[in-house]
Structure 1
Amino acid sequence: MSLVVKSEPFHIQAYKNIKNLLLANEFSSGEQLTEIGLARKLGVSRGPVREAIRMLLQDGLVIQKGVHIHVLDPTFKDVEDLYLCRKRLEPLAAGLATEKMLQDNKNRLIEIIEKTKHNLKMNELGTVVELNTKFHELIVHSSENQQLIQFMDLIAAKTVYMRNSILRNYTREAAFIEEHEKVAQAILNNNKDQAELEMTQHIQNDLEAFYPLFEKTDIKDE
């Protein structure tokens, strides 16, 4: 059965579907992808898939090796580079959110934190990871800076992919929730400098906590 409908261009739907499959870890890191294989999987012709692959190449979720397309197989440096970008851009978003975030979204921010606590207690780590993503997305989108949102949406997708492909459902126990609470409190208090500081520290702590896990994987710099 086809995974696409006629409400939007087929290549956009193909792009979204393949991207979702990548983020859900349906393909192995480094796996070769073919137009015909993806077309069969989605139930579409090769044309939309070809355009979708071009978009995914721009996103950096797939790479080209000669004439072949492969799923991104991230190195340790890839992850460090990504987090360096996050450490520069997300504090900016947090600072802007102190000025722009609507009350409904402030309430939602606290709700996400409470749900995260509950799901961590229930050991629902997959849901915890999803809520973590929603927390960061809400702050970024509350910045109301469209250029920043576009940059961060791309970075967020790669973050999710790298987390799922390398770290699976790894989480830093309760430490990251306390950091989320500090970021949220600064936003609720309209304290721009504190929000930027707390977000910077949170991203750095997140990266540093991953170092031991990287050592346990086969990921090495090329």
Structure 2
Amino acid sequence: MSRIIKPESLHLQAYNLIKQGILEGEYKPSERIVEAKMAEKLGISRGPIREAIRMLSRDGLLTYNDGLVRVYLPSVQDVVDIFQCRRSLEILAISLSIKNISKDEKEQLSRNLKETAKASERDIGIELGKLDQEFHDIIINSSKNHQLIELLGVIRTKIHYMRNSMVNGDFYPSFVEEHERIYKILLDGNEEEAEEVMRRHINKGLEGVLEHIKSE
């Protein structure tokens, strides 16, 4: 983890660094986050750390339990609830994307797929996770429905966290192929097929997380 650059806003830097650590698996589900130790690690006082912890709690990535701060450990029901919302919203997103996607956004998806294929060959899990999120974000934004984009933004961080911390690495090759299929169907403009493929894609993501939970 990088250290704090003091001229910048300290609590925002702390927030971004701790959040990055959680999303990239440096801090594990249910791991305790100790304010004093984190302040020492980042080289700042406890005040900005305290504010960063509050912000991360609002994001749902940290939880308070008996006075202790821990990294969020989703229950099975949490996972199901989040993915049910995601499935419905992303099915709508791809349906709207077929009608509204721009040429530039199509090119963004194409570049994303090329970068994803390269990352898959090198087996870089963190990079693949970021590219996975980017692929879905491009489709969501291309829907041009601002309320939909906002609603997905509310659960975006938790989805990213669940995928990175709770999905087996064997999942990545299959999602690369699925993204290529989604892209082709989107270009073809087959709305019904696109909705069905996105539904199966999200369901597979849910199954991957639940399988991880069962194996723990």
User: Structure 1 191/4 Cα, relative in aligned 2: closer, same or farther at 3 Å?
Assistant: farther
After superposition, residues 141-152 of structure 1 pair within 5 angstroms as: 141-152=141-152
Deviations 1:134-188 (A, max 9, x none): 21122122233444334323423222222332235341533x3343233223332
**Residue 63 of structure 2 aligns to a residue in which SS?**
strand
Once superposed, which parts of structure 1, at least 4 consecutive aligned residues long, lie more than 6 Å away?
none
User: Structure 1 142/13 Cα, relative in aligned 2: closer, same or farther at 3 Å?
Assistant: farther
Cα distance in 1 for partners of 2:12, 2:151 equals: 19
- Report how many aligned residue pairs link the two structures: 215
Cα distance in 1 for partners of 2:95, 2:113 equals: 19
Deviations 1:64-116 (A, max 9, x none): 11222111122322222221111011122222322332212201212222333
- 1:106 corresponds to 2:106: yes
Residues 126 and 169 in structure 1, CA contact (< 8 A), matched pair in contact too: no
What does residue 132 of structure 2 align with? 132
Q: Per-residue deviation at 1:5?
A: 4.5
User: Structure 1 126/211 Cα, relative in aligned 2: closer, same or farther at 3 Å?
Assistant: same
What does residue 185 of structure 1 align with? 184
Structure 2: which 5+ runs fail to align?
Answer: none
What does residue 11 of structure 1 align with? 11
After superposition, residues 41-56 of structure 1 pair within 5 angstroms as: 41-56=41-56
Q: Per-residue deviation at 1:22?
A: 0.8
The amino acid that maps onto 1:177 is V
Q: Per-residue deviation at 1:16?
A: 1.3
Cα distance in 1 for partners of 2:110, 2:30 equals: 38
**Which one is further off, 187-196 or 103-112?**
187-196
More helix by share: 2
The amino acid that maps onto 1:115 is E
Cα distance in 2 for partners of 1:126, 1:18 equals: 16
**Which one is further off, 187-196 or 96-105?**
187-196
The amino acid that maps onto 1:63 is T
- Normalising by structure 1, we get a TM-score of 0.82
How many percent of aligned residue pairs carry the same amino acid? 35
**Which one is further off, 63-72 or 113-122?**
113-122
Q: Per-residue deviation at 1:2?
A: 4.2
The amino acid that maps onto 2:54 is R
Q: Per-residue deviation at 1:209?
A: 4.4
Cα distance in 1 for partners of 2:210, 2:34 equals: 34
What does residue 58 of structure 2 align with? 58
- 1:70 corresponds to 2:70: yes
CA RMSD of aligned residues (A): 2.5
